[in-house]
Amino acid sequence: MSHAVEFERVSVAYGEDDAVLRDVTFSIDQGELALVVGRTGSGKSTLLGAINGVVPHFTGGRLEGRVTVSGLDTATHRPRELATVVGVVGQDPLAGFVTDTVEEELAYGMEQLGLPGDTMRRRVEEILDVLGIADLRDRPLRELSGGQQQRVAIGSVLTPHPSVLVLDEPTSALDPTGAEEVLATITRLVHDLGVTVIVAEHRIERVLQYADQVIHLDQGRVTVGSPAEVMVDSTVAPPVIELGRAFGWQPLPLNVRDAKRQARGLHLDARPASSPPNGDVALRATNLSVRYGALTAVDSVDLELQRGSVTALMGRNGSGKSSLLWALQGSGPRSRGAVTVDGLDPHDLPVAQRRGLVGLVPQTPGDLLYLPTVAQECTVSDTEAGVAPGTTRSLLDTLVPGVSDDSHPRDLSEGQRLALVLAIQLATSPQVLLLDEPTRGLDYTAKAALVRQLKRLTTTAVLLSTHDVEFVALVADRVAIMAQGEIVESGPTREVVVSSPAYAPQVAKILGHGYLSLAEATGD
């Protein structure tokens, strides 16, 4: 039987740079779910692009070796000719939509292939049912939630009936509920329809348990094998794997249930309920509301942030987290209520003084950068903040050492770019630092670095919004959970997340006794 996807000694290089993929050989059988893991910049996107020939036909670069999909060589078949064989969904589904309603989007690929009308009609109905989105058929794509958009994007590449489906980070940007919807869809496609699925994902803990095969990338080289084999010494590992490695469990557990079984032998003492640091209050918000027309985004929120503590703001997409952060900073709209930092309300201050009190790192940090080099960004930042020259640069060096002065901010990795914006915002040494979804696109190493960076800010009160429960377990002293614009629960991290079904980190689920992280369990 021929393989669904086959790479034979494949190397890819762009221009004069080092090869992104080196001598990669592997094959994926029909109906399997393969998970591609690796650090940021390890070549995951290039590997996925090579499957349908977008690399190198569309992106340029040089590909050596042979890639075949269902027996077709990508050297002689352009991506558009492979549309009936491979379906590809990119990182941002919205950026790949061509039309504007669900039904038209599902039909678009088939129209391009010139399929007859009755076939198109039948397949659209089938896919609507398979993905459970029949009630969305007339909805505009932009009004859908992230999980729904991702499912429509999957559906839109499935209508030409490809046998291989390639997904680049399908759940990274989604809240836990949206991620569940998408994962359920993916497993259904593999199990019921026999589609071969190749997924790249940073949030390995979400997908690992469903994978038949793991393709691990490290600086362009691959290791391929069953999840338990490959994860033993993978460069990226979710908490469940870290735990298994630390306690030497054999075989390595891949999901919480297996790990729990292995953890029965451990004898751990119950973790004392340590109280979070109790600094003085840096920011106090009372009765804060934000309204956009008839929509109430933030509803009478009271909030206190202590100096030297990190508070995590969690909740579904659209629960008002971003609106709250922007209102606290003072630059966003506010309908009612008051915010006090150092006896002043940032909303009433000119923008330049405002950031001296409260700094905010927005969801797309790149929005703040417009100069061609890191050095120039740092210089301008010093002038803007009115601090001694070199302040921003030295902040950046403490956050992530070794960022070259000449590099273009767009060429930095996600983690480096975030650190640059963080350094710019910290240049004024604000009393309060707000971060909107800082972990987007960060791998485990970059997240750990961010944790260290935030823990170092002992005189600043930090509030960050995120969906990432594992990150919260590592970084946050307190957690506040938002729903429908209100803060429905808040308190020390351990008290809030351990008992919650949606927000408990893997370590807490496996070990119990109130443990949040591996470091706590091993006593490091």
Beta-carbon count within 10 A of 233 CB: 11
Choose between 96 and 279: whose C-beta lies nearer to another protein: 96
Selected from 8, 25, 62, 80, the binder of another protein by CB under 8 A is 80
Both structure tokens of 397 = 């060096």
List the interface residues with another protein, window 379-418 (CB under 8 A).
381, 384-385, 410
Selected from 369, 374, 433, 481, the binder of another protein by CB under 8 A is 369
Q: How are strands ordered across the β-sheet holding 486-492?
A: 358-361, 432-436, 461-465, 310-314, 478-483, 486-492
List the interface residues with another protein, window 37-56 (CB under 8 A).
52, 54
157 lies in the binding site for another protein (CB under 8 A): yes
How far apart CA 182 and CA 165 sit, in angstroms, is 14
How far apart CA 220 and CA 229 sit, in angstroms, is 19
* Contacting range for another protein; rule: CB under 8 A; set: 152-160, 174-182, 285-293, 388-396: 152-160
Report whether 463 contacts 328 (CB < 8 A).
yes
Report whether 309 contacts 332 (CB < 8 A).
no
Choose between 232 and 387: whose C-beta lies nearer to another protein: 387
Selected from 149, 329, 460, 517, the binder of another protein by CB under 8 A is 329
List the interface residues with another protein, window 113-142 (CB under 8 A).
113-117, 120-121, 124, 137-138, 142
Selected from 367, 402, 406, 523, the binder of another protein by CB under 8 A is 367
318 lies in the binding site for another protein (CB under 8 A): no
Number of residues this chain uses to bind another protein (CB under 8 A): 74
Which one-letter DSSP state was computed for residue 140?
B
* Contacting range for another protein; rule: CB under 8 A; set: 328-336, 337-345, 397-405, 481-489: 328-336
- Sign, CA dihedral 339-343-348-352, equals negative
Smallest separation, CB 317 to another protein (Å): 16
376 lies in the binding site for another protein (CB under 8 A): no
Report CA-CA distances (Å) from 491 to 77, 276, 469, 477. 57, 9, 15, 9
Both structure tokens of 319 = 């629960």
List the interface residues with another protein, window 413-452 (CB under 8 A).
424-425, 428
Choose between 115 and 498: whose C-beta lies nearer to another protein: 115
Smallest separation, CB 507 to another protein (Å): 35
* Contacting range for another protein; rule: CB under 8 A; set: 26-34, 154-162, 199-207, 223-231: 154-162
How far apart CA 9 and CA 517 sit, in angstroms, is 40
Kindly report the backbone phi and psi dihedral angles of residue 141, in degrees, each rounded to the nearest multiple of 5, phi listed first. Answer: -60, -35
Smallest separation, CB 244 to another protein (Å): 37
List the interface residues with another protein, window 83-112 (CB under 8 A).
83-84, 86-88, 90, 92, 94-100, 103-104, 107-112
Query: Which H or E run contains 86?
Result: strand 86-89
Which one-letter DSSP state was computed for residue 33?
E
364 lies in the binding site for another protein (CB under 8 A): yes
Beta-carbon count within 10 A of 300 CB: 14
Smallest separation, CB 330 to another protein (Å): 9
Selected from 331, 335, 376, 407, the binder of another protein by CB under 8 A is 331
Beta-carbon count within 10 A of 522 CB: 12
* Contacting range for another protein; rule: CB under 8 A; set: 169-177, 239-247, 271-279, 326-334: 326-334
Smallest separation, CB 82 to another protein (Å): 8
Smallest separation, CB 253 to another protein (Å): 36
* Contacting range for another protein; rule: CB under 8 A; set: 153-161, 278-286, 290-298, 313-321: 153-161
Choose between 200 and 518: whose C-beta lies nearer to another protein: 200
List the interface residues with another protein, window 454-473 (CB under 8 A).
none
- Sign, CA dihedral 343-300-291-305, equals positive
* Cβ neighbours of residue 414 closer than 8 Å, sequence gap 6 or more: 40, 440, 441, 442, 446
14 lies in the binding site for another protein (CB under 8 A): no
Selected from 79, 132, 225, 318, the binder of another protein by CB under 8 A is 79
Smallest separation, CB 427 to another protein (Å): 10
List the interface residues with another protein, window 17-36 (CB under 8 A).
none
Region label for 301, one of left (φ > 0), alpha (ψ between -120 and 50) or beta (otherwise): beta
Give the residue from 435, 318, 331, 476 showing the smallest Cα distance to 339.
331
Choose between 209 and 363: whose C-beta lies nearer to another protein: 363
* Cβ neighbours of residue 248 closer than 8 Å, sequence gap 6 or more: none
How far apart CA 349 and CA 339 sit, in angstroms, is 12
Token pair 């393989």: residue: 3
Helix, strand, coil share of the chain (percent; to 5): 40, 25, 35
* Contacting range for another protein; rule: CB under 8 A; set: 67-75, 78-86, 272-280, 394-402: 78-86
List the interface residues with another protein, window 342-361 (CB under 8 A).
350-356, 359-361
Choose between 152 and 516: whose C-beta lies nearer to another protein: 152
Selected from 40, 74, 156, 185, the binder of another protein by CB under 8 A is 156
How far apart CA 218 and CA 236 sit, in angstroms, is 10
Choose between 47 and 224: whose C-beta lies nearer to another protein: 47
